[in-house]
Amino acid sequence: MSSFLRVVRIEEARAALEKRWRSRPRVVEVPLGEAAGRVLAEDVFSRIDVPPFDRAAFDGYAVRAADTFGAGEESPIELTRVGSVRAGEWPKFKISRGQCAEIDTGAPVPRGANAVVMLEYSMARAKVVRVFRAVAPGENIAERGSEVKRGTKVLKAGKMVTPQTLGTLAAIGRKHIKVYSPPKVAVVSSGIELVGAGSPLKRGKIYDVNGPAICRAVELCGGEASYLGIARDEPRSLAIILKRGLATCDVVVLSGGSSAGVGDVAPSVVDELGNPGVLVHGLALRPGKPTFVALVRDKPVFGLPGYPVSALMVFDQLVAPYLRHLSGLPPAERERVRARLASKILSARGRREFVPVKLVRRGREVHAEPLLKGSGAITALSLADGYVDVPLEREIVGEGEVVEVNLFGGVEVA
């Protein structure tokens, strides 16, 4: 609890945590159907040739190419049909000189044959097939292994499992695949005044907002959220629920119901749950003062501000990068958009500030409207699409200036 109450920059907070804890992505093997949306944790090599046999690329006749030399529209050559091969069948016969076999697109080319004459360049009557065009060896055949040779690397670890990835894995016959396992995150709300969503609201109580919001934010970083419910803001109740979180999850995220956040009671409770305890308490960031970062043995515990938009912004900066890393996801590079500031932002010099904004498309341009501090927590929450990061040396960001907006997860710029 050495840094207790020494307000630090967010980078220092991260460094303090990373000095003692390294986020180690966990690997798990799952059936293809469960891999969707996750990230590959292995380089994938094919154990088979694709296609696994020489296949006809068109409907037509499997032939020996040499037999067709000299064939032309005016000078067809004649071959004897000795059988037919449908797709999915395995031909038992062999093509000898002067012979051919009817063949479907995708069907295996019979032994002896080394080319396919397309249907439109042939004419059949009973067992006699006339060929009106010469073919070269290999023509109209997809050779065994021509797509993927056995032993080739077809996918790289770190790739998101997309429809294309699933198709590729299916093509090489994989049934299971190693992906990064979603980190388990315990989400706890703290505040004796809080009531769970949808329960009757007794006098003096308010609904818990952060619990459901943070759970979804966790999922959007590839995590598996476990909402442990509401702790009374006092040591015994907090200790019980935090212990449960630490026992069942990889990371614990706690947030308060009041604007004061969980700053009052939680840090000292966390400190007693195990070493090293609280590493950072208070960020030199607006909002961020009530934030804390702790490590209980090998599991991080994050305490977030109570004001919902603040909780989400601090989550995005402080917690999300670790969850994305644990999930194998790339850093959230893409989740930023450039937008024109619709009205100026005044910020305190010497303090970094996150200002929530709403995005509005005007013609071809995207405008960012700062949500005024006067607006209620819930109004701000329902309108915010993301936030602008105002560095500590800036006092004013002018109207019309182009700024970078950090998007909240799941937001579409309509």
Site residues for a copy of itself, 240-259, by CB under 8 A, read: 257-259
Considering the rule CB under 8 A, would residue 36 count as an interface residue with a copy of itself?
A: yes
Identified binder of a copy of itself from the candidate list 19, 24, 86, 236, rule CB under 8 A: 86
Per-residue b/e over 120-146, b at no fewer than 16 CB within 10 Å?
Answer: ebbeeeeeebebbbbbeeebbbbebbe
Number of residues that bind a copy of itself (CB under 8 A): 96
SS3 (DSSP) at 243:
helix
The letter for the amino acid at 266 is A
Site residues for a copy of itself, 313-352, by CB under 8 A, read: 329-330, 333-334
Identified binder of a copy of itself from the candidate list 80, 84, 146, 237, rule CB under 8 A: 146
Identified binder of a copy of itself from the candidate list 11, 70, 74, 88, rule CB under 8 A: 88
**Angstrom distance (rounded) from CA 380 to CA 386:** 11
CA-CA distances (angstroms) from residue 343 to 373, 382, 398? 13, 19, 7
Instruction: Yes or no: say if 264 and 215 are a contact pair by the CB < 8 Å rule.
Output: no
Nearer to a copy of itself, 48 or 392 (CB): 48
Nearer to a copy of itself, 13 or 407 (CB): 407
**Contact region for a copy of itself (CB under 8 A) — 32-40, 63-71, 75-83, 277-285?**
32-40
334: DSSP letter:
G
CA-CA distances (angstroms) from residue 114 to 93, 131, 132, 401? 14, 15, 17, 67
Nearer to a copy of itself, 312 or 390 (CB): 312
Spell out, one character per residue from 274 to 313, where the chain touches a copy of itself: x when CB under 8 A holds, - when not.
Answer: ----------------------------------xx--x-
Considering the rule CB under 8 A, would residue 37 count as an interface residue with a copy of itself?
A: yes
Kindly state the smallest distance separating residue 142's Cβ from a copy of itself, in Å.
Answer: 8
Please list, in sequence order, all residues whose beta carbon lies within 8 angstroms of the beta carbon of residue 132, skipping any fewer than 6 positions away: 71, 72, 73, 76, 121, 122, 123
Tell me whether strands 386-390 and 365-370 are parallel, antiparallel or unpaired: unpaired
Spell out, one character per residue from 186 to 205, where the chain touches a copy of itself: x when CB under 8 A holds, - when not.
Answer: -----xxxx--xx--xxxxx
Considering the rule CB under 8 A, would residue 364 count as an interface residue with a copy of itself?
A: no
Among residues 167, 189, 163, 158, which one has the least CA distance to residue 254?
189
Site residues for a copy of itself, 206-225, by CB under 8 A, read: 206-217, 219-220
The letter for the amino acid at 304 is L
Identified binder of a copy of itself from the candidate list 5, 136, 170, 348, rule CB under 8 A: 170
Nearer to a copy of itself, 227 or 292 (CB): 227
Tell me whether strands 77-85 and 128-131 are parallel, antiparallel or unpaired: antiparallel
Residue 222 CB neighbour total at 10 angstroms: 23
The letter for the amino acid at 223 is G
Site residues for a copy of itself, 92-121, by CB under 8 A, read: 104-108
Considering the rule CB under 8 A, would residue 179 count as an interface residue with a copy of itself?
A: no
